[in-house]
């Protein structure tokens, strides 16, 4: 059997197909001597059968040179979750209802095969819906009973000469100032340099060079920093875990990488951030400030111009929108753990309860009572999403039936304006009064993977603004010089900016899955999450491109 110019072992190919279509074991190990055709066999399986019913391959990650984190990041991307840490990937796979088939060629060429198996592949194989084909010579690494496909001996191919550090460094082009031109250095050379570094001084030189961090191999840098004896600027060990998952993606251009690294550096390393600022500001989205160590579960604009933030312990804080610094605290129920809120007056608890923030807010009390009664009705309807507009005048509540309820916050109203927009529970809501205040736009996102628009006083749009095989975690909307803009955070660590008037959407990577978004009065988009919160400046006109 022949695939392109490579001959595939017919017997081995049939054995692999038999496993995929009928074998009850969930692990298949492909093994054999170097040069016997293991990689060709897996390529043939992927090309010939990887999209047919029963043998659909959901992720294929060549493991050569990767460490366990890099393997998890790439598996997460291909499975549609975005780059995930090891524990996050296992949790996402466990929650995924799909039967998943993964191919992992070159497992024996990872940086630490035993760590990759024990830390990631074995935990994934404990998920009942997961099946896996791996190229591995050591069956003892796996807990799962394996079906083994053995290929015969092949022509031995000696490894390519690696070259020493000095000879590799001599091939790196130089800038006009005689500094290494990492941007124009072949990727394979950048990847090999760190591994070939002869001593700690050479490693230090690489890891303290912002240009090498910007263009260098994210997985190799992560592996080096995982070793406690690796010499590196102290702050880099705090910066790098925040940004490495996104920098490991090859599709990001230089300004995108600079913007991401600059954002992470703002939270930990002022010198690194300063060195990247000019390049980062060329990107349509660049951070103005960033803070770590303060996890955020919810954000909301306040009428007086500040921004409210909730933390996982249930405390509410006010933030300066220009710097992100704490400026005060707000009252909140002592037992609440809000994960969404409206103008810091209504809180949606992680247990699904809608609560007023204080006991002296009759409007918020009435709204909470209305939805509390609905949650305990004979056919209960429970709130699942809560949001507000930038002026803090309107609250929008989504429920587990896919309906959206709009309430004024300034005056009492006995009933909301309600319509059903989704076929699944609502995950996020937002609202925007257009500049003339004659039209109110309501936005919602649901577990059905759609983002929808409803202009109060008219029928909802028949087609969604967006539809993706992901879940929205937060929405925010604002009036900008380019028109009304909707910001959408997805659970694969993507941020989408949509110009509502033109319908055009642009996608940008986030440092993490965002738990909250809010537009500030000074035009920043605040992004909150478990590890870092930052304020993004949107370049004029970028919302409409």
Q: Where are the domains of the chain?
A: 2-150, 165-283, 291-544
Residues 99, 80: Cα–Cα separation, whole Å: 14
Residues 354, 346: Cα–Cα separation, whole Å: 7
Query: How does strand 130-135 pair with strand 516-519?
Result: unpaired
pLDDT of residue 235: 95
Q: How many CB atoms lie within 10 A of CB 47?
A: 12
Contact (Cβ atoms closer than 8 angstroms) between residue 308 and residue 528: no
Residues 106, 141: Cα–Cα separation, whole Å: 14
Contact (Cβ atoms closer than 8 angstroms) between residue 136 and residue 107: yes
- Per-residue pLDDT of the chain (545 residues), as tens digits, is 444 445 667 888 888 888 888 878 899 999 887 777 788 888 888 888 777 777 889 999 999 889 999 999 999 999 999 999 999 999 999 999 999 999 999 998 898 999 999 999 999 999 999 999 999 877 788 988 888 888 866 544 555 555 678 888 888 999 988 899 999 998 888 888 888 888 899 999 999 999 999 999 999 999 899 888 999 998 999 999 999 999 999 899 999 999 999 999 999 999 999 999 999 999 999 999 999 988 999 999 998 889 999 999 999 999 999 999 999 999 999 888 999 999 999 999 988 999 999 989 999 999 999 999 999 999 999 999 999 999 999 999 999 999 999 999 999 999 999 999 999 999 999 999 987 767 899 999 999 999 999 999 899 999 999 999 999 999 999 998 888 999 999 999 999 999 999 999 999 999 999 999 999 988 899 999 999 999 999 987 555 44
Contact (Cβ atoms closer than 8 angstroms) between residue 381 and residue 403: yes
pLDDT of residue 9: 77
Contact (Cβ atoms closer than 8 angstroms) between residue 364 and residue 407: no
Contact (Cβ atoms closer than 8 angstroms) between residue 305 and residue 521: yes
Q: How many CB atoms lie within 10 A of CB 160?
A: 7
Strands (E), 411-465: 417-420, 426-433, 440-446, 450-455
Classify domain 291-544 at the CATH class level: mainly beta
Please state the length of the chain.
545
Long-range contacts of 117-122 (CB under 8 A, 24+ apart): 117/141, 117/142, 119/68, 119/86, 120/68, 120/71, 120/72, 120/75, 120/86, 120/89, 120/90
pLDDT of residue 248: 94
Query: How does strand 524-528 pair with strand 516-519?
Result: antiparallel
> Does 2-150 match 291-544 in CATH topology?
no
Supply 318's token pair: 């006010």
Residues 486, 537: Cα–Cα separation, whole Å: 15
Long-range contacts of 46-51 (CB under 8 A, 24+ apart): 46/103, 47/3, 48/3, 49/17, 49/20, 50/103
pLDDT of residue 159: 54
End-to-end CA, the chain: 49
Contact (Cβ atoms closer than 8 angstroms) between residue 172 and residue 185: yes
The answer for residues whose C-beta is within 8 angstroms of residue 96's C-beta and 6 or more apart is 79, 129
pLDDT of residue 158: 53
Of the candidates 236, 247, 162, 242, the one whose C-alpha atom is nearest the C-alpha of residue 203 is 236
Classify domain 2-150 at the CATH class level: alpha beta
């Amino acid at each position: 059997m022949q695939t392109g110019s490579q001959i595939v072992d017919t017997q081995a190919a049939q054995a692999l197909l038999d496993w995929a279509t009928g074998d009850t074991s969930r692990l298949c190990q492909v093994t054999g001597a170097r040069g016997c055709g293991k990689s060709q066999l897996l390529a043939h399986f992927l090309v010939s059968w990887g999209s047919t019913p029963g043998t659909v391959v959901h992720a294929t990650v060549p493991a050569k040179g990767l460490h366990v984190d890099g393997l998890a990041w790439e598996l997460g991307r291909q499975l549609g979750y975005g780059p995930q840490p090891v524990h996050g990937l296992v949790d996402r796979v466990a929650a995924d209802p799909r039967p998943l088939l993964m191919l992992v060629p070159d497992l024996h060429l990872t940086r630490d095969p035993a760590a990759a198996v024990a830390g990631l592949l074995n935990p994934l194989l404990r998920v009942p819906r997961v099946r896996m084909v791996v190229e591995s010579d050591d069956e003892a690494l796996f807990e799962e009973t394996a079906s083994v496909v053995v290929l015969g001996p092949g022509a031995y191919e000696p490894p390519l000469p690696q070259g020493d550090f000095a000879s590799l460094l001599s091939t790196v082009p130089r800038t006009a100032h005689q500094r290494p031109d990492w941007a124009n250095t072949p990727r394979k050379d950048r990847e090999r340099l760190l591994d070939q570094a002869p001593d700690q001084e050479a490693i230090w030189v690489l890891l303290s060079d912002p240009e090498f961090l910007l263009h260098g191999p994210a997985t190799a840098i992560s592996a080096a920093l995982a070793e406690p004896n690796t010499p590196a600027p102290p702050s880099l060990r705090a910066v790098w875990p925040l940004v490495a998952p996104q920098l490991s993606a090859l599709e990001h251009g230089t300004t995108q990488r600079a913007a991401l690294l600059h954002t992470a550096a703002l939270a930990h390393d002022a010198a690194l951030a300063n060195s990247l600022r000019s390049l980062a500001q060329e990107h349509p989205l660049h951070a103005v400030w960033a803070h770590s160590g303060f996890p955020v579960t919810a954000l909301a604009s306040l009428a007086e111009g500040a921004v409210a933030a909730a933390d996982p312990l249930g405390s509410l804080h006010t933030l300066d929108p220009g710097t992100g610094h704490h400026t005060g605290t707000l009252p909140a129920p002592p037992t609440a753990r809000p994960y969404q809120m409206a103008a810091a007056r209504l809180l949606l608890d992680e247990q699904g309860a809608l609560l007023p923030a204080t006991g002296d807010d009759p409007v918020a009390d009435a709204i909470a009572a209305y939805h509390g009664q609905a949650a305990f009705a004979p056919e209960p309807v429970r709130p699942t999403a809560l949001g507000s507009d930038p002026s803090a005048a309107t609250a929008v509540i989504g429920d587990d039936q896919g309906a959206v309820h709009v309430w004024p916050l300034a005056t009492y109203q006995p009933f909301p304006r309600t319509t059903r927009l989704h076929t699944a529970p609502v995950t996020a809501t937002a609202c925007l009064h257009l500049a003339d205040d004659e039209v109110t736009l309501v936005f919602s996102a649901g577990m059905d993977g759609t983002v929808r628009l409803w202009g109060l006083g008219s029928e909802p749009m028949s087609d969604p603004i967006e539809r993706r095989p992901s879940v929205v975690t937060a929405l925010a909307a604002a009036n900008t010089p380019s028109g009304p803009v909707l910001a959408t955070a997805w659970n694969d660590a993507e941020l989408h900016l949509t110009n509502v008037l033109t319908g055009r959407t642009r996608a940008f990577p986030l440092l993490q899955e965002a738990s909250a978004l809010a537009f500030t009065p000074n035009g920043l988009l605040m992004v909150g999450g478990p590890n870092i919160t930052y304020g993004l400046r949107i370049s004029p006109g970028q919302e409409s491109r």
